[in-house]
Structure 1
Amino acid sequence: MITGELKSKIDRIWDSMWSGGISNPLSVIEQLTYLLFIKRLDELHTLRERKAARTGQPIDEPIFQSYQSKLRWSRFKETAPEQMFATVKDEVFPFIKTLGSRNGPGGGTDAEGDSTYSHHMRDAIFMMPTPRVLANVVDQLDAIDMADADTKGDLYEYMLGKIAQAGTNGQFRTPRHIIKLMVEMTAPTPNDVICDPACGTAGFLIAASEHLRRQHAEAIYKSETSRRRFNEDTFHGFDFDSTMLRIGSMNMLLHGVENPDIRYKDSLAQSVSDDGNDAERYSLILANPPFAGSLDDESTAKDLQQIVKTKKTELLFLALFLRLLQIGGRAAIIVPDGVLFGSSKAHKTLRQILVEDQKFDAVISMPSGVFKPYAGVSTAILLFTKTGPVGQSRGGTDQVWFYDMRADGFSLDDRRSPQPDKSDLPDILARWQALRAQGHDAEAERKRTEQSFLVPKAEIAGNDYDLSINRYKEVEYEAVEYDPPAVILERLAKLDAEIAEGREALEALLQ
């Protein structure tokens, strides 16, 4: 997680930009992302140069041509501030805006047109106000070792936390270890079509791409067709914030996905039926959608209102996931605890749809500190499989697996200090994989007093489809025996006598 040293470095960079005249927190993170992107391009090109030197072959897919060497971070960072400013503003920035376009430098082109990255970058603006500010920020960023991929994630996490604290848009980043858990539980395959309808910086899509490379690299790269499918047809993300779309597209490109479908869409406002390509298209949804606030009826897609009549965004997103998933598609999503036990008609209706009409698999209750310091709300991970069209019951739920996550490997206060010896995540994944392999027999003997257990569908239905773990968990109380009152009073009298004796000895010393 975020270290104190990294925090202080980012704070100093932030202050440099703030004092230089960039006061919008979202603009700060956007400009820093551009610079981090430029720095990473140079690092990737250097790696390809070293590989070419070892093999004696030409550089494989060079990012920079020989005549573009002055556009590299390692080159322009050594120049005077005025020259650096002119190079970055007039040459480097236009260069990164054309990456991925049909006629521009770099790869990742789309046969039918420009990549989503180049599409979103068309409106990007270089906002560094002066050569002095740029040189200062470049020097400070250069001093941060970003060889570890986790460091880049830490940067985004901390910067997005600043956005939330500033009250702008309220974005905050889902912790990487929680994303990784959800990806590993759903185990994406090369045949999956993966979607995050509220993608932000594309954290879930990046984690899914890394999982696929680790587990299925041979299948992904066995042919040009499979490689193209991975780069262009596997990952889909929606957002209605153009800055987040640019950051998400850059993030995906940096992680080796050349042309994902990252596009502008107000997921709750635009009817899925209006975009025929999205209805029942996706085989896997991974998401942590925004769940604060409500929408007006006029602002909500009518096909979502047909599933559940509500203004609450957390319920509307669940309805959206059901519309986007194809039959047999699965989902791992984060919801606030209120979804699990809310008593409104909309809450009950949606839970009933999940349990009765689909195959509802699991509820993993997370402690409230998981999203600190950005949010303290209690949340849960829901996992389910779509078995039939909404309103046409197919079912499949037999028993639902509940897990009470008590620790995630970090302290649950605002500091979120690493505590690697305190984590339930390995146990959650191991038990889930056993359930997938052995069926319910793997957890059949677990008691309700343990951290994980199974609950029959009939019992859930009898409780108004309440999905909160506390409804079904049993608590063991240990009997505590106390000494009789007379013994306690005798002990207190003895203590009083010792105190009086000590006071008399102290008074004697002071005379």
Structure 2
Amino acid sequence: MTDTLTEEPAETPGAKSRETAAHTRSLVDKLWSYCDVLRDAGVPAIDYVEQLTYLLFLKMMDEQEKKLARRGRPHRTLPPGIDWDTLASKKGGDLKEYYERVLEELGRRPGMFRLIFLGAQNKIQATGLLERLIKDLIGKIQWSKEGVDVKGDAYEELLSRSASDVKSGAGQYFTPRPLIRAMVDCVQPTPEDTIVDPACGTGGFLLLANEYLRREHPMESLNPDQRNRLIHGWAFRGVELVRGTARLAAMNMLTHGVIPDEHQEIIEVGDALLAEPKVRASLVLANPPFGQKSAITVVGEDGKAVKDEAVYASRDFWVTTKNKQLNFVQHIAKLLKIDGRAAVVLPDNVLFEGGAGETIRRRLLKEYDVHTLLRLPTGIFYAGGVKANVLFFERRRPSDRPWTSKLWVYDFRTGESFTLKQRPLRREHLQDFVDCYLPGKPRGERVETDRFKAFTYDELIARDKVNLDISWQQDGGDDKSAEHSPEEIARSIAADLRTALTQIEAIAAALTTNGQAEPSH
């Protein structure tokens, strides 16, 4: 789609005027105003954003075709008989029938069309509501005149609002953007990087890596290949299991000015654990799913297999486990090129779980440079009661000596309390961590603080089960613990219960695995 949706490069993100921000909020409020109406008609918030995706894509494509025609460069991308004017001219049952035919026809097209429209369904069965949405909302906005910043920020805000719809479960696909920004600021993507997210959700990591690149490396400073890597998305690759979420990620990239070529798919639909990666990554940014069990079985170097719905035989993996989080750690480790780097959100159990967890941690510390761990507080994710961390590590060439020399742990959990509404996480809350991380500088220049401490390889290996769930601070009387609301206390209790349940499940899984792998005595 090189000739169809080209736009001027985005202006420096972060330097948006107040007028632009106000206009974005106004646009989001206008788009979101229909959500409550459709929710009353039985359409959940996430489905509403999906329907908006179809219509926004169609309208933007139609506008671009007309724009090219006015410039004397006609280029037809939409199939014959499909255009916005025809859709907007119809009423009642004819509108519904034509719209559903459009969705089906576009789903047969290759590339981005297939990704966004394959399996697309009209979930707005009330023809009056559908007509209002098309004519009074989408149709009255000239999207080609809106800048990349406005379209992209508006779409991201829609996804954020839909993620807060707890009943839909959409929050599991949405990582807090302030956290992603801090992670990206630490790893500092370059125009030469191949950036991969093997569980990309709505595409937040890829988008904010793209935002960082366009801010720190203006288009005029790049060579043609580097510009194409950004504009056409050659630098990015996402994998998402759920097609509906993948289409949201694809549209999210599109509204942010990443325009893939005709047959290129930046977002791949599938299970990243089930196939060999199509590309190797120089940078992995990810927040893998927090579910305990995988729907597959991995056969690792140990040769063990566990019966399940499907079998994935990969000798690349170090150990056999049904724990999806541990499998993603192994997958990401193997996904990296030599000298590639990763920043991955992981739940606490990955740091302390025995058995397969201990084996993976030992291998990771020895064969990779595992250099930084950020301990996160509860209350920042839409899934309540989640205790998580960000692990930073780099792949190195095989060596007899361990590559990890020091693991620097930043405790952002003790004495900190956040909620999604009363005290949401903001980027400035993580600035001290970023300052301690020293992006782009030798780690030998790091300095210990009350929250930031280094642990040597020998110290880590000597810990029981190589437990990396390290904490040295205690909540004191001068912190905010006395001010915790009942909601915050409940979240903390829920987090502890989740952690305990995870440990019990891990023990049960280990006992089951041992029972299948070894004969009874």
Fold agreement, TM-score > 0.5: yes
The 1:176/1:355 distance shift into structure 2, 3 A limit, reads same
Shift in Å at residue 29 of structure 1?
A: 3.6
Asked whether the equivalents of residues 375 and 410 of structure 2 are also in contact (C-alpha less than 8 Å), the reply is yes
The 1:419/1:367 distance shift into structure 2, 3 A limit, reads closer
SS in 1 for 2:379: helix
- Match of 2:130? 134
Please tell me whether residue 353 in structure 1 is matched to residue 387 in structure 2: no
Please tell me whether residue 440 in structure 1 is matched to residue 440 in structure 2: no
The 1:147/1:459 distance shift into structure 2, 3 A limit, reads same
Q: After superposition, give the CA deviation of every residue in 1:412-442 in whole Å (9 maximum; x if it has no partner).
A: 124254576x9431222222226x4143233
- Match of 2:168? 166
- Match of 1:262? 267
Asked whether the equivalents of residues 117 and 246 of structure 1 are also in contact (C-alpha less than 8 Å), the reply is no
The 1:42/1:183 distance shift into structure 2, 3 A limit, reads farther
The 1:137/1:457 distance shift into structure 2, 3 A limit, reads same
Asked whether the equivalents of residues 438 and 446 of structure 2 are also in contact (C-alpha less than 8 Å), the reply is no
Shift in Å at residue 356 of structure 1?
A: 1.7
SS in 2 for 1:289: coil
What is the one-letter code of the residue matched to 2:38? M
Please tell me whether residue 200 in structure 1 is matched to residue 225 in structure 2: no
CA–CA separation in structure 2 for the residues paired with 1:476 and 1:239: 39
Asked whether the equivalents of residues 29 and 159 of structure 1 are also in contact (C-alpha less than 8 Å), the reply is yes
CA–CA separation in structure 2 for the residues paired with 1:63 and 1:187: 39
The 1:212/1:414 distance shift into structure 2, 3 A limit, reads closer
Shift in Å at residue 180 of structure 1?
A: 1.3
SS in 1 for 2:314: helix
Asked whether the equivalents of residues 411 and 418 of structure 1 are also in contact (C-alpha less than 8 Å), the reply is no
Asked whether the equivalents of residues 388 and 394 of structure 1 are also in contact (C-alpha less than 8 Å), the reply is no
The 1:179/1:360 distance shift into structure 2, 3 A limit, reads same
Asked whether the equivalents of residues 241 and 269 of structure 2 are also in contact (C-alpha less than 8 Å), the reply is yes
- Match of 2:458? 458
Map 1:72-471 to 2 at 5 A.
82=92, 85=95, 89=99, 114-138=110-134, 139=136, 147=150, 149-162=152-165, 164-166=166-168, 171-218=172-219, 222-223=223-224, 225-230=225-230, 231-259=232-260, 260-268=265-273, 270-272=274-276, 277-278=278-279, 281-295=280-294, 296=297, 297=306, 298=308, 299-303=310-314, 306-342=317-353, 344-372=354-382, 374-388=383-397, 395-406=402-413, 412-417=418-423, 423-433=428-438, 436-443=440-447, 446-447=448-449, 450-464=450-464, 465-470=466-471
Q: After superposition, give the CA deviation of every residue in 1:7-31 in whole Å (9 maximum; x if it has no partner).
A: 99888634433454x5566544421
Asked whether the equivalents of residues 30 and 247 of structure 1 are also in contact (C-alpha less than 8 Å), the reply is yes
SS in 2 for 1:190: coil
SS in 2 for 1:156: helix
What is the one-letter code of the residue matched to 1:159? S
RMSD after superposition: 4.3
The 1:478/1:217 distance shift into structure 2, 3 A limit, reads closer
Question: Which segments of 5 or more consecutive residues in structure 1 lack a partner in the other structure?
Answer: 102-113, 480-511
Asked whether the equivalents of residues 161 and 173 of structure 1 are also in contact (C-alpha less than 8 Å), the reply is no
Shift in Å at residue 126 of structure 1?
A: 3.5
Asked whether the equivalents of residues 346 and 390 of structure 2 are also in contact (C-alpha less than 8 Å), the reply is yes
Shift in Å at residue 239 of structure 1?
A: 1.7
Alignment match of 1:16 (pick from 37, 43, 51): 37
Asked whether the equivalents of residues 332 and 382 of structure 1 are also in contact (C-alpha less than 8 Å), the reply is yes
SS in 2 for 1:383: strand
The 1:59/1:398 distance shift into structure 2, 3 A limit, reads farther
Shift in Å at residue 141 of structure 1?
A: 6.9
Please tell me whether residue 71 in structure 1 is matched to residue 84 in structure 2: yes
Q: Kindly name which structure, 1 or 2, has the bigger radius of gyration based on alpha carbons.
A: 1
SS in 2 for 1:370: coil
What is the one-letter code of the residue matched to 1:469? I
Asked whether the equivalents of residues 317 and 330 of structure 2 are also in contact (C-alpha less than 8 Å), the reply is no
SS in 2 for 1:129: coil
CA–CA separation in structure 1 for the residues paired with 2:171 and 2:315: 24
- Match of 1:493? none
Asked whether the equivalents of residues 201 and 246 of structure 2 are also in contact (C-alpha less than 8 Å), the reply is yes
- Match of 2:498? none
TM-score by length of structure 1 reads: 0.70
Asked whether the equivalents of residues 116 and 263 of structure 1 are also in contact (C-alpha less than 8 Å), the reply is no
Q: After superposition, give the CA deviation of every residue in 1:123-164 in whole Å (9 maximum; x if it has no partner).
A: 3334432431113445467899993744432211221332x5
CA–CA separation in structure 2 for the residues paired with 1:69 and 1:311: 47
What is the one-letter code of the residue matched to 2:291? A
Asked whether the equivalents of residues 219 and 227 of structure 2 are also in contact (C-alpha less than 8 Å), the reply is no
CA–CA separation in structure 1 for the residues paired with 2:375 and 2:103: 45
CA–CA separation in structure 1 for the residues paired with 2:30 and 2:179: 26
Asked whether the equivalents of residues 368 and 393 of structure 2 are also in contact (C-alpha less than 8 Å), the reply is yes
- Match of 1:492? none
Question: Which segments of 5 or more consecutive residues in structure 2 lack a partner in the other structure?
Answer: 1-20, 298-305, 479-521
The 1:353/1:178 distance shift into structure 2, 3 A limit, reads same
The 1:41/1:394 distance shift into structure 2, 3 A limit, reads farther
CA–CA separation in structure 1 for the residues paired with 2:60 and 2:180: 23
CA–CA separation in structure 1 for the residues paired with 2:205 and 2:368: 23
The 1:39/1:406 distance shift into structure 2, 3 A limit, reads farther
Asked whether the equivalents of residues 37 and 254 of structure 1 are also in contact (C-alpha less than 8 Å), the reply is no
The 1:7/1:213 distance shift into structure 2, 3 A limit, reads closer
What is the one-letter code of the residue matched to 1:387? R
What is the one-letter code of the residue matched to 2:250? S
Q: After superposition, give the CA deviation of every residue in 1:316-372 in whole Å (9 maximum; x if it has no partner).
A: 100000111111111001000111222x11111111122122100100011111104
- Match of 1:496? none
Shift in Å at residue 235 of structure 1?
A: 0.9
- Match of 1:494? none
Q: Which has the higher contact order (CA 8 A, sep 6+)?
A: 2
SS in 2 for 1:307: coil
Structure 1 window deviating more from structure 2 (376-385 vs 247-256): it is 247-256
